[in-house]
Amino acid sequence: MSLIKNTHNSFRFGSLTATALLLVMLAGCSSQVIKDGEPVIENAPYEAESAEEALKLAHLLRDNGRYKAAYEVYENMDEKGQLEGAFVLEYASISASFLPPLEAIALFKRAELALDGNITSEQTQAICVGMGRAHLALSQFEQASSNFQCALQANPNSVVALNGMGVVLNKQGNFPEALKHLQKAIDLSPSSKLVVNNLSLTWLALGKHQKAISLLRTKHNNMAISTRLNLALVYVFNHREDMARKVLLEALPQQNTEQILDQYSSSLHRVENGVAIETELFALSNTPIQLKDLE
C-alpha cells in the first residue's frame, strides 16, 4: 500500500459553491471526461494501478467539474489508506457536497489533524469554510459564525467566507451586519450569482425592495433560475405580482409559475401578520422548489 504525500504542502480549491438563502434543485447537464484518449465511465468502479494514478484521475474529474465521480475516487483511495496530509483536505472539500453535515465536519477535523500543525493560511481557510457550511446546514449558527470568522482571519477577502457570514447573519436577523459582509463580497466578486442573490435578499429583508430589484435585474440578460426566482420573490413582497409572474413565465411553464407565486404570496401574508422575515426566508431556503421536470 502506498500513501499519497504532498511534499509541497499545497492545496488547490475546487469549484465548491457556498450556501444560498434560496435553494433551487436542478439536474445539471453532463459532459464527458477523457483520460489518455479514452472516455472515463464515471458510474463504474475504477481500479488504478497506483495511488498516484488514482490521484491524477481524481484531479482530472474534479477539474472537469465531475465532483461526484472525483469523490468516489477519493473515497476508494481513503478506504485503502492511500491519503494523508493535504490530500485528506482535498477529500474533505470534495466530500462536503455529498456527505451528511456531521460526517463532513468529522472529515474536516481529521484533515486538520492530518496536517499536524504544518498548515497554510489557505488550508486554514478551506477547513474553516467547510466546517462553517456544514454547521450552517445543521442550523448551528453560532458554530458556523465562528468558523467563517476563522476563515476571514486567514483571508479577509475570502468571498466564500464573506458570503457564508452574510447568510448566517441574515438567518440571525442581523441584516445591517449581513449587508456589510455581502457588500464587501460583491465588491470583490461582482459576477457571483450566490452573492448577488444573498445581497438582494438582505435588501428585501431591510424593506429596500427597489435596491433588491435593481441588483437582480443587472443579471437580466443572463439570469440564472435562482436569480429569477429571487427577483420574483422581491416583486411579490413589493406587491407587484404581475411583474413576478412576467419574470417567471419567461422561463417556466404556467403551472410552475402559479405554484411558486402561491408559495411566495403565502410567505408575504405570514410576514404581514407578524412572522419575522428572516424566519420566512429561512423556511423558503429549507423548502427547495423542484424544477427538474423542466429540462
Q: How confident is the model at residue 288 (pLDDT cuts 50, 70, 90)?
A: low
pLDDT at 290: 62
293, three cell numbers:
421536470
pLDDT at 264: 96
**Residue 44 pLDDT exceeds 60:** no
- pLDDT tens for 163-187 read 999 999 999 999 999 999 999 999 9
Is there a domain that residue 115 lies in? yes
**Residue 229 pLDDT exceeds 50:** yes
What's the chain's average pLDDT? 83
**Residue 32 pLDDT exceeds 90:** no
Is there a domain that residue 294 lies in? no
**Residue 222 pLDDT exceeds 80:** no
**Residue 5 pLDDT exceeds 50:** no
Is there a domain that residue 9 lies in? yes
Residue with cell 500543525: 117
**Residue 8 pLDDT exceeds 50:** no
pLDDT at 116: 82
**Residue 207 pLDDT exceeds 60:** yes
Is there a domain that residue 95 lies in? yes
Residue ranges making up the domain that contains 115: 1-21+47-140
Is there a domain that residue 97 lies in? yes
111, three cell numbers:
484533515
Mean pLDDT of 6-34: 35
- pLDDT tens for 242-253 read 999 999 999 999
**Residue 203 pLDDT exceeds 90:** yes
Q: How confident is the model at residue 286 (pLDDT cuts 50, 70, 90)?
A: confident
The structure's pTM equals 0.78
pLDDT at 118: 85
Q: Kindly report the CATH number assigned to the domain that includes residue 104.
A: 1.25.40
Mean pLDDT of 72-91: 92
* Domain total of the chain: 1
Mean pLDDT of 75-100: 92
pLDDT at 219: 67
Is there a domain that residue 99 lies in? yes
**Residue 221 pLDDT exceeds 70:** no
> Between the ranges 14-18, 78-82, 282-286, where is the mean pLDDT highest?
78-82
Determine whether 249 is exposed, middle or buried from the number of CB atoms within 10 Å of its CB (0-12, 13-18, 19+). Answer: middle
pLDDT at 21: 44
243, three cell numbers:
411583474
pLDDT at 173: 92
pLDDT at 232: 96
User: Of 268, 163, 259, which Cα lies nearest the Cα of 209?
Assistant: 268
Q: How confident is the model at residue 275 (pLDDT cuts 50, 70, 90)?
A: very high
Is there a domain that residue 6 lies in? yes
**Residue 91 pLDDT exceeds 80:** yes
Are residues 195 and 173 in contact, defined by beta-carbon separation less than 8 angstroms? no
pLDDT at 30: 34
266, three cell numbers:
403565502
pLDDT at 29: 33
Is there a domain that residue 84 lies in? yes
